[in-house]
């Protein structure tokens, strides 16, 4: 059904647990629909938003987009995004690529020029090399200090050439392309789902390396981001109540020390929260081009340690309501 639209799935992610901003949501979705980009589907993934919010979005956009409502379960951002992607692939088939857009992003460049070309330009750069993740630059809460860059909210940081993320480095997740081969490699997920709140980004360079791909920051595009639009990671505590830190705050009693101390994972090149020096990757596990020497082993260990099993968390048992376009 409609395979001509299966080039890109755009997921706009909202959360109404603490607060919501309906006028901003509308502007953000309008900015998506204004893109000069062929063959994309747009879905709003809504976690515990108000009935009024649902009605206002449906009234404004009708069948131009799809809507998935999660109202009953207690879910992380990673889980709602993964679930929405799974439901859309079950409905429409797999897509070439997937785009995560958090609720605070609006597709408007700082210079306010060619706003309708953002997806087209970004996607071209993303598809220009062996990349499985590509980040569009945002003007707030980007996390560029983690890659040694000074930060300005009014200036493009990556210019002229795409920035290839070094193994072990990361920036914050706000507007991100993901490839279907990554989706398949991670057991039909895109966001490792063991994490309660923080730390997901710290493992993405390793996820890419597990399929002989890279993560880039796309050059010459900077869009607006309003941080903590609804409250950061609104559903769960940011610190582990047991371990009293952010890096060992995992789902269902998982313990980060299980993979931090796993010699197989170390030898395969896995790292974790290197910005805090929690688990530094073994440099000899990578070749001179930054590709894993044993990608299959790395992939298996990522799935073992960073992806929940069906017994722990069954996406098929999540309660949801949906309106397809």
What share of the chain has pLDDT > 70, as a percent?
96
Q: What angle do CA 218, 219, 225 make, to 5 degrees?
A: 70
Which pLDDT tens digit goes with each residue over 8-53?
999 999 999 889 999 999 999 999 999 999 999 999 999 999 999 9
Which pLDDT tens digit goes with each residue over 168-198?
999 999 999 999 999 999 999 999 999 998 9
pLDDT at residue 3 in the model: 54
Which pLDDT tens digit goes with each residue over 122-174?
999 999 999 999 999 999 999 998 998 876 677 899 999 999 999 999 999 99
Sorted by where each starts, the structural domains of the chain and their CATH numbers stand as 3-228 (3.90.550.10), 251-306 (no CATH)
137 and 222 Cβ atoms separated by less than 8 Å = yes
Q: Does this model's pTM top 0.85?
A: yes
Q: What angle do CA 32, 318, 243 make, to 5 degrees?
A: 95
156 and 110 Cβ atoms separated by less than 8 Å = yes
Residue 250 has pLDDT above 60, yes or no: yes
10 and 44 Cβ atoms separated by less than 8 Å = no
Spatial CA neighbour of 31 closest among 51, 53, 10: 10
Which pLDDT tens digit goes with each residue over 70-90?
998 889 999 999 999 999 999
Spatial CA neighbour of 179 closest among 213, 202, 205, 203: 213
Read off the DSSP letter of residue 42.
E
């Amino acid at each position: 059904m409609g395979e001509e639209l299966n080039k890109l799935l755009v997921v706009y992610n909202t959360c109404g647990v603490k607060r919501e901003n309906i006028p901003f949501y509308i502007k953000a979705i309008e900015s998506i629909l204004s893109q000069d980009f062929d063959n994309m589907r747009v879905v709003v993934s809504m976690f515990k938003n108000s009935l009024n919010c649902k009605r206002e979005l449906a009234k404004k956009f009708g069948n131009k987009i799809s809507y998935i409502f999660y109202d009953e379960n207690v879910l992380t951002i990673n889980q709602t995004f993964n679930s929405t992607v799974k439901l859309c692939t079950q409905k429409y088939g797999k897509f070439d690529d997937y785009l995560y857009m958090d609720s605070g992003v609006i597709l408007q460049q700082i210079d306010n020029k060619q706003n309708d070309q953002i997806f087209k330009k970004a996607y071209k750069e993303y598809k220009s090399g062996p990349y499985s993740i590509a980040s569009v630059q945002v003007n707030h809460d980007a996390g560029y200090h983690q890659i040694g860059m000074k930060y300005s909210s009014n200036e493009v940081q990556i210019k002229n050439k795409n920035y290839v993320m070094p193994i072990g480095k990361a920036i914050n997740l706000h507007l991100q392309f993901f490839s279907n081969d990554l989706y398949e490699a991670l057991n039909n997920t895109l966001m490792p789902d063991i994490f309660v709140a923080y730390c997901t980004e710290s493992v993405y360079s390793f996820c890419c390396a597990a399929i002989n791909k890279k993560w880039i920051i796309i050059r010459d595009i900077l869009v607006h981001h309003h941080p903590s639009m609804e409250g950061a990671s609104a559903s769960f505590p940011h610190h582990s109540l047991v371990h009293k830190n952010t890096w060992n705050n995992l789902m269902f009693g998982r313990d980060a020390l299980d993979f931090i101390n796993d010699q197989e994972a170390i030898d395969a090149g896995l790292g974790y929260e290197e910005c805090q020096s929690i688990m530094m990757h073994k440099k000899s596990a990578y070749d001179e081009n930054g590709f894993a020497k044993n990608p299959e082993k790395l992939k298996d260990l990522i799935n073992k340690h960073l992806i929940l099993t069906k017994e722990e968390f069954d996406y098929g048992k999540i309660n949801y309501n949906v309106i397809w376009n």
